[in-house]
Structure 1
Amino acid sequence: MSQGWGWGSLFGGNAAKSKDAPKNAILGLRGTLDMLSKREKHLQNQMDEQDAIARKNVNSNKGVAKAALRRKKNYEHQLEQTSAQMLTVEREISSIETANINKETLDAMKHAQQAMKNIHGGLTIDKVDQTMEDLREEHAIAEEIAEALTQGSIGQGVDEDELDEELAELQQEELDNKMLKTGSVPVSDQIQRMPAVNTGAVSSRQQRVEEDDEEEELRKLQAEMAM
């Protein structure tokens, strides 16, 4: 079988240009390969049959045995031709599949290139650089406008008394919440709400309390000694 088979010789010039030409060519070649495979099996069976006849008559009838060997050689030659044809067809199938894959890959790359071209359109590096520069200028203008609109209004006019009053309200709200939950005022909060006391007076009273405690302890000790 000739190795010069092509799409045009198999299916005609018009079919080779159609979209389904590679698929049709492969289907046709696979059909041929299947036929050759069946022929190969048939020839092998014929060879085995003639070999059996030759073995059976090798001693009793040499003429029959020799004729069987001759037919076996003929079948063997046909089998070799069939095997070569099968190899040629398989090679053609592989070639068409590879060519079809190459074509599909190239077509996909062309479509991708066209899509990129459409996306970029008339874009150039200079246009991109100019656009980015314009954006930076617009951002700078926006920052200046925002600063001008807020200048003199943020961070000024804060009344410290108002802050103290607001803080006291927050403390009172927190205390009220704790009273609702526990039913009593925590000692720490009571201390925080107590008015400021002169530290000197507190120290003097504490010292007198300590002295009274010492006098009391001394009287208890004297009473124990008297007993």
Structure 2
Amino acid sequence: MSKISKLFKGSSSSSSSSSSKSKHHKSRGGPSAQEAIHKLRETEEMLTKKQDYLEKKIEQELMTAKKHGTKNKRAALQALKRKKRCEQQLTQIDGTLSTIEFQREALENSHTNTEVLKNMGFAAKAMKKVHENMDIDKIDDLMQDINEQQDVAREISDAISGPFGETFDEDELMAELEELEQEELEDNMMSMGGLPSVPSSRMPSAPSGHRATTKKRVEEDDDMKMLASWGT
């Protein structure tokens, strides 16, 4: 064997060795989810094309069987057999496509869940970093100080807005108010002409008949007093 042949052979064996190592490393690591989904989509596309071919083939064999009919029974039967085999393959492809579609959807969901978990983990790390410089005890002390200062501000506001140096008796104020109302009422009556005056002329005397009746009643009262004194 020539040196050139040995060189090419060594190079070939080295290349195949490195290739096998690469394949072994790749198989051990496994394909990514995106690669697997891409391969499944390619397989679906290939099987779909095969379905179209088989459907056309079935139509052709059926037309061949009709063409020969009873005239060439052997050719017609062969066409029907080929049609049946195509139909069987078509049924198998339908089942395979359903399985591949289910596997692809499961893989896509797993990939989506992985990305979601990855992002959630990223957000958790960011939140942890934000909270690194936060001390719960210091936060509690800060909130307590804020509440205390709010109470102080509220007390100051109440002190400023409250009455200053005003100590009046409510009863005295009410009495003064009633006196003012009475004066106001009297002033209004005076402005309207004052109180009605007492008539200066004498009242008309009672009729004579009325005077006689009154005198008689006095006499009867005297008689009753006398009878009462006798009875005692």
TM-score (normalised: structure 2): 0.51
2:68 maps to: 57
Deviations 1:108-131 (A, max 9, x none): 221232233233334454443332
The code of the aligned residue for 1:104 comes to: E
Correspondence 1:15-164 to 2 at 5 A: 16=31, 22=34, 24-123=35-134, 125-142=136-153, 146=156, 155-156=164-165
CA distance in 2, matches of 1:200, 1:77: 122
- Greater Cα radius of gyration, structure 1 or 2: 2
Q: Is the 8 A contact 2:66 2:76 kept in 1?
A: yes
- Residue equivalent to 1:219: none
- CA RMSD, aligned part only? 4.5
SS in 1 for 2:117: helix
| Residues 189 and 195, structure 2, Cα contact 8 Å, conserved in 1 | no
Inter-partner Cα distance in structure 1 for 2:148 and 2:194: 73
Output the CA distance in 2 between the equivalents of 1:201 and 1:61: 143
- Greater Cα offset, 38-47 or 110-119: 110-119
Relative to structure 1, is the Cα distance of residues 45 and 141 closer, same or farther in structure 2, using a 3 angstrom cutoff? same
Shift of 1:43: 0.6
Q: How many Å apart are 1:200 and its aligned residue?
A: 7.4
Amino acid at match of 1:131: L
Secondary structure of the equivalent of 1:115? helix
Q: 1:197 to 1:29 in 2, by over 3 A?
A: same
Identity of aligned residues (%): 29
Give structure 2 stretches of 5+ with no counterpart: 1-22, 168-183, 200-232
- Seen in structure 2, the aligned counterparts of structure 1 residues 58 and 134 have a Cα distance that, compared at 3 Å, is same
Structure 1 residues 60 and 109: CA distance shift in structure 2, 3 A: same
- 2 CA distance for matches of 1:76 and 1:27? 28
**CA 1:205/1:123 → structure 2, altered by over 3 Å: closer, same or farther?**
closer
Aligned residues: 162
Deviation at residue 40 of structure 1 after TM alignment? 0.5
The 1:156/1:77 distance shift into structure 2, 3 A limit, reads same
Pair 200,128 (structure 1): closer, same or farther in 2 beyond 3 Å: closer
Question: Per-residue displacement from partner, 1:142-199 (whole Å, max 9, x unpaired)?
Answer: 556x37x959x952389xxxxxxxxxxxxxxxxxxxxxxxxxxxxxxxxxxxx99856
